[in-house]
């Protein structure tokens, strides 16, 4: 099937062709005709399947006929995060370039003045996060009585972020006779209840089983002790043919600390999390999209819906607390038919969280295939402390490290190693006591089912 078979206008087909697309994805092929027929719609599809274009494209043709009025948007798209709202706005600009449509973006973190001005001039489509929309509505800056088309995008994420009461309030202010489209990757009971309340005889489309992961994404886990997670991550970034990667952590403080550590080790990395102001988040995303940094450390603010082309890897530095977040995190790779890899670092404390992920996705995440990777040349990006972790016998004691930090003048005596060698030479060979092999010379323990070839040093002892 081609986009030309879906009954879209010539102007819209031209814009789609200019964007480099010829054939619709399954969700687009099923959803676009339903939207054109003005039906309410529930669309369930995993992330990365082209959900955004499945409502943006028919909306552009629908809105091409009609007149806009001040402070009364003709359509409304609700998004859970600023980044998702901005991405939808980019889609409207790209696909609607041959149409005379006005768009307004209402998101937090930026000044209200320009947003209010755009509303005063009249908009055909309003893209908003619930918080900023509620704020402007309560200030009397916007009227929702002229909105005939509502899109609730990433509904399950709205639930996770506590926006369902806001959405119910907004729906009650909209005209009763309207078209409502609800898009979600999963369909938990609260979302089903929301759909039953505000949608009228909806057509339900499900192009993939709820909570399934993309078959183009190879998933792996690495069992590791907490103190060796950074070392394992850096090793994987070096050996697994990483071109661009998003690394997810559960806490904003972890995002900041990990990004600093990666930069210190020579990686080109950036960060994005909820404590950053909007301009900083936009700037970091732009650097990542342009390739000026190829590693983005992120909290779950970036997990849903961001469409960044060419992400080869997703790393779960922390196993997500909520299993649904796993599906959305790894969906940042393997997009639009491309192959991707998702690797999760699993500590003993993460065992239950990973079991919940596997229960949700009905997929047993396999161990990372260490035998299939070869360290790349060019030297190591790991710190000296991490290199010493691979050779436990050569670790320095605390007192030795403290002594190394002292001025050289304070250390008059001969190094301990030399004295030991002198004593060794004085001993008759036959009287020398047989010494135990060093720790790194001993064969590392292995568990049933583990790969038994040469392992990175930090994996030789499993969980410790």
Which numeric CATH code is attached to 3-206?
A: 3.40.50.300
pLDDT in tens, 368-418: 988 766 554 333 334 444 444 444 434 344 444 444 444 444 444 444 444
The answer to whether 221 and 320 have CB atoms below 8 angstroms apart is no
**pLDDT band, very low/low/confident/very high, at 276 (cuts 50, 70, 90):** confident
pLDDT of 48 above 80:
no
Question: How many CB atoms are located within 10 Å of the residue 431 CB?
Answer: 6
pLDDT of 442 above 50:
no
Tokens 């943006």 locate to 56
Paired tokens of 112 = 């209200």
**By C-alpha distance, which of 187, 11, 171, 160 is closest to 100?**
11
Cα 359 to Cα 331: distance, rounded to the nearest angstrom: 18
- CA-to-CA dists, residue 266 to 37, 65, 380, 424, angstroms: 54, 54, 9, 42
pLDDT at 455: 55
Cα 280 to Cα 259: distance, rounded to the nearest angstrom: 15
The answer to whether 36 and 62 have CB atoms below 8 angstroms apart is yes
Threshold 0.85, pTM exceeds: no
pLDDT in tens, 315-369: 999 999 888 788 888 988 887 678 899 999 999 999 999 999 999 888 999 999 8
- Asked if 3-206 and 217-386 have one fold, the answer is yes
pLDDT of 32 above 90:
yes
pLDDT of 10 above 60:
yes
pLDDT in tens, 175-204: 999 999 999 988 889 999 999 999 999 999
Residue 423: helix, strand or coil by DSSP? helix
The domain limits of the chain are: 3-206, 217-386
The answer to whether 163 and 152 have CB atoms below 8 angstroms apart is no
Residue 315: helix, strand or coil by DSSP? strand
Overall fold of domain 217-386: Rossmann fold (3.40.50)
Q: Which run of H or E residues covers position 127? A: strand 125-128
Question: How many CB atoms are located within 10 Å of the residue 26 CB?
Answer: 15
């Amino acid at each position: 099937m081609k986009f030309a078979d879906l009954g879209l206008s010539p102007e819209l087909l031209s814009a789609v062709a200019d964007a480099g697309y010829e054939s619709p994805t399954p969700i687009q092929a099923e959803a676009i005709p339903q939207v054109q027929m003005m039906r309410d719609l529930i669309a369930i599809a995993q992330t990365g399947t082209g959900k955004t274009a499945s409502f943006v494209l028919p909306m552009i043709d629908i809105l091409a006929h009609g007149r806009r009025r001040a402070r009364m948007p003709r359509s409304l798209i609700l998004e859970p995060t600023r980044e998702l709202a901005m991405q939808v706005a980019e889609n409207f600009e790209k696909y609607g370039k041959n149409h005379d449509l006005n768009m307004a973006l209402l998101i937090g973190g930026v000044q209200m003045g320009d947003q209010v001005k755009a509303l005063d001039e009249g908009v055909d489509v309003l893209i908003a996060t619930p918080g900023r929309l509620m704020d402007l509505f309560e200030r009397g800056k916007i009227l929702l009585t002229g909105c005939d088309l509502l899109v609730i995008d990433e509904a399950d994420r709205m639930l996770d972020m506590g926006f369902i009461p806001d959405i119910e309030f907004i729906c009650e202010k909209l005209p009763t006779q309207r078209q409502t489209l609800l898009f979600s990757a999963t369909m938990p009971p609260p979302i089903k209840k929301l759909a039953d309340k505000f949608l009228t005889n909806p057509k339900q489309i499900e192009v993939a089983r709820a909570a399934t992961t993309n078959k183009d994404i190879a998933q792996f886990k690495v069992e590791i002790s907490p103190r060796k997670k950074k070392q394992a991550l850096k090793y994987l970034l070096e050996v697994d043919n990483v071109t661009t990667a998003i690394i997810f952590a559960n806490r904003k403080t972890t995002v900041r600390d990990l990004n600093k550590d990666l930069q210190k080790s020579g990686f080109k990395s950036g960060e994005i999390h909820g404590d950053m102001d909007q301009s900083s988040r936009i700037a970091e995303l732009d650097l990542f999209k342009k390739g000026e940094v190829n590693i983005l450390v992120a909290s779950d603010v970036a997990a849903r819906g961001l469409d960044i082309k060419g992400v080869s890897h997703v790393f779960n530095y922390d196993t997500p607390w909520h299993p649904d977040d796993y599906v959305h995190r790894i969906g940042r790779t393997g997009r639009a038919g491309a192959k991707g890899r998702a690797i999760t670092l699993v500590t003993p404390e993460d065992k239950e969280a990973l079991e919940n992920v596997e229960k949700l996705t009905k997929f047993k995440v396999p161990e990372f295939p260490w035998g299939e990777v070869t360290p790349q040349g060019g030297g190591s990006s790991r710190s000296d402390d991490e290199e010493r972790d691979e050779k436990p016998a050569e670790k320095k004691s605390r007192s030795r490290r403290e002594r190394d930090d002292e001025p050289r003048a304070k250390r008059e005596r001969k190094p301990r190693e030399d004295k030991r060698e002198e004593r060794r030479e004085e001993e008759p060979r036959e009287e020398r006591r047989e010494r135990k092999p060093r720790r790194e010379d001993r064969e590392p323990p292995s568990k049933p089912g583990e790969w038994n070839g040469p392992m990175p040093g930090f994996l030789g002892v499993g969980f410790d």
